[in-house]
Amino acid sequence: MNYELICGLETHVELSTKTKIFCSCSTEFGGEPNTHCCPICIGLPGTLPKLNKAVVEYAVMAGLATNCEISPVSKMDRKNYVYPDLPKAYQISQYDMPLCKSGWVGLSNGRRIRLNRIHIEEDAGKLVHDRGNTFVDYNRGGVPLIEIVTEPDLRSIEEVQEYVEKLQMILRYIGVSDCKMQEGSLRCDVNVSVRPVGQEEFGTRAEIKNMNSLAYMAKAIAYEFDRQVDLIQSGEEVVQETRRFDEGSGCTEGMRGKEDADDYRYFREPDLVAILVSDEMRKSIQKQMPEDPQKRLTRFVSDFDLPEADARLLIEHRRIADYFETAAKGAKNPRAVANCILGQMFARLGTEAEKEQFEVAVTPEQLHELILLLDSGKIRMNLVKSTLEKMLDTGKPAKEFLSEQDLAGMSADDLKAVCEKAVAENEAAAADYLAGKEKALKAILGSVMKATRGRANPQEAEKLLADIIRR
Residues near Zn ion (CB under 5 A): 23, 25, 38, 40-41
User: DSSP string of 394-456?
Assistant: H---GGGG--HHHHH---HHHHHHHHHHHHHHTHHHHHHHHTT-TTHHHHHHHHHHHHTTT-S
| 307 touches other proteins (CB under 8 A) | no
**Distance between first and last Cα of the chain:** 77
* Angstrom distance (rounded) from CA 88 to CA 82: 8
8 A C-beta contact, residue 177 and residue 169: no
Query: Which of 62/367 has CB closer to other proteins?
Result: 62
Q: Sketch the per residue contact string, 250 through 289, with other proteins: x for CB under 8 A, - otherwise.
A: ----------x--x-x------xxxxx-------------
92 - beta bridge partners? 78
> In the window 314-343, what residues touch other proteins (CB under 8 A)?
none
Tell the smallest beta-carbon distance from residue 288 to other proteins (Å).
13
The nearer residue to Zn ion, 86 or 315, going by C-beta atoms, is: 86
Closest distance to other proteins from the beta carbon of 34 (Å): 5
Q: Do residues 445 and 462 lie in contact, with contact meaning Cβ atoms separated by under 8 Å?
A: yes
Map residue 440 onto helix, strand or coil. helix
Are the beta carbons of 267 and 43 closer than 8 angstroms?
A: no
Q: Does residue 67 touch other proteins according to CB under 8 A?
A: no
- Binding part of the chain for other proteins, among 23-31, 319-327, 405-413, 449-457 by CB under 8 A, reads 23-31
Residue 122: its H or E element: strand 112-122
- Residue 56's binding partner out of other proteins, Zn ion, none, with CB under 5 to 8 Å set by partner kind: other proteins
CA distance 319 to 142: 30
CA distances in angstroms from 267 to 122, 183, 270, 318, listed in the order given = 16, 32, 9, 40
Site string for other proteins, 370-409 (x = CB under 8 A): ----------------------------------------
Q: Which of residues 119-178 bind other proteins (CB under 8 A)?
A: 128, 131-138
Q: How many residues of this chain bind other proteins (CB under 8 A)?
A: 46
Among 30, 53, 436, 459, binds other proteins (CB under 8 A): 53
Which residues here bind other proteins, judged by CB under 8 A? 17-19, 24-26, 32-39, 42, 44, 50-56, 73, 75, 80, 82, 84, 97, 128, 131-138, 260, 263, 265, 272-276
